[in-house]
Structure 1
């Protein structure tokens, strides 16, 4: 489960993305275009230390992009090239925001979602000793074969930028589609999803 906070963020996630997206080779849009949130889903970090959120966003009149992010309370060693920036969280303090394919916690969570069908985290707020669950803004599912054990997830060896962005580990390759559904999904298992404006499932990630 993912605990959410009613907090102010400076800068906001969308402000960070408005500056970062135009620096990506796979971005096909105008610099300075307004970035809006389309939908999102989260994964759990078993240790409860890293926030893992995938945003679906649109810049101006452009296509929908998939941008997985991780939020950390301290810098991730050796990942400066993956850092979008820091932001101030009114509850948690300073947070380091990373392009998630370069974060091993995200890679493990993604592999678990695609190969083991772990699904997305339930999001909730705490108040007066109770919990208020926030309905998901989209649905995700995996077509991995039921009952087939997932391979052991090894350390990340390298990340190959592009669309898709490929995370290479000792045992599997995880391909993250930056423009959902635009690249034919081919692999041992595929993560697909829908949201209000999309009824036919689109591919988001593939495991080979």
Structure 2
């Protein structure tokens, strides 16, 4: 379960992530876009926030953009830092391209292996009450015979429409442009209102 907070965030997520998108090799050149869906994955240790955005555009193309939120800088993660933001409840947060964050990679692989799903969402209000929020996008792993003792991932490699992350003898392929052809293998699939059967990642 992912706990969210009723809070003010500066800069906003869109203000932080939007300019960064335009520096990526897999950006499709569409400047007018916004989130059409988002889901969370659970860090088993409860330390790292993992949010996966689906950003749509007027042209109909959709980008898959997972990010992580940390309460301190990720050692050795400078190349994957998107920026920092101030959260009125949690304080300063470091925001990373999740493909360069080992917690995201291991959580995603475990979600695929165990047929796991997106996290349930609970919003903690300023008065201390809690509200269950319905996800605006969903994801589920396909299951697969995958090892549980994989080494730490190597640095991700961005391509024109995907990102590849070597993890021992496996390669995690993440579809940055939804619809990108990925190597066959156990997968993470998703849907949102307006799109279903989305192939988001595979292990090969």
Q: Note whether the superposition's TM-score is higher than 0.5.
A: yes
What is the RMSD of the two structures over their aligned residues, measured on CA atoms?
Answer: 1.8
Q: Equivalent of 1:189, from 172, 186, 192?
A: 186
What is the CA–CA distance in structure 1 between the aligned matches of 2:130 and 2:88, rounded to whole Å? 20
Q: Which residue of 2 aligns with 1:120?
A: 118
What is the CA–CA distance in structure 2 between the aligned matches of 1:132 and 1:22, rounded to whole Å? 35
Q: Which residue of 2 aligns with 1:142?
A: 141
Q: Work out whether residues 14 and 35 of structure 1, in 8 Å CA contact, stay in contact via their aligned partners in 2.
A: no
Q: Which residue of 1 aligns with 2:132?
A: 133
Q: Which residue of 2 aligns with 1:203?
A: 199
Matched, 1:154 2:143: no
In the comparison of the two structures, how many residue pairs are matched? 202
Q: Which residue of 1 aligns with 2:76?
A: 78
Tell me the secondary structure at the aligned position of residue 205 of structure 1: strand
Tell me the secondary structure at the aligned position of residue 16 of structure 1: helix
What is the CA–CA distance in structure 2 between the aligned matches of 1:89 and 1:130, rounded to whole Å? 19
Q: Which runs of 5+ in 1 are unaligned?
A: none
Residue deviations 1:32-74, cap 9 Å, x none? x344111011111111111001111135546110001000111
Alignment of 1:21-40 (within 5 A): 21-30=21-30, 33-40=31-38
Q: Which residue of 1 aligns with 2:20?
A: 20
Q: CA deviation at 1:151?
A: 4.0
What is the CA–CA distance in structure 2 between the aligned matches of 1:54 and 1:107, rounded to whole Å? 12
Which has the larger displacement, 40-49 or 60-69?
A: 60-69
Q: Work out whether residues 111 and 153 of structure 1, in 8 Å CA contact, stay in contact via their aligned partners in 2.
A: no
Alignment of 1:173-184 (within 5 A): 173-183=171-181
Residue deviations 1:7-55, cap 9 Å, x none? 111111111122111101111115xx34411101111111111100111
TM-score, scaled relative to structure 2: 0.91
What is the CA–CA distance in structure 2 between the aligned matches of 1:149 and 1:156, rounded to whole Å? 15
Q: Which runs of 5+ in 2 are unaligned?
A: none
Tell me the secondary structure at the aligned position of residue 156 of structure 1: coil
Tell me the secondary structure at the aligned position of residue 188 of structure 1: coil
What is the CA–CA distance in structure 2 between the aligned matches of 1:84 and 1:35, rounded to whole Å? 18
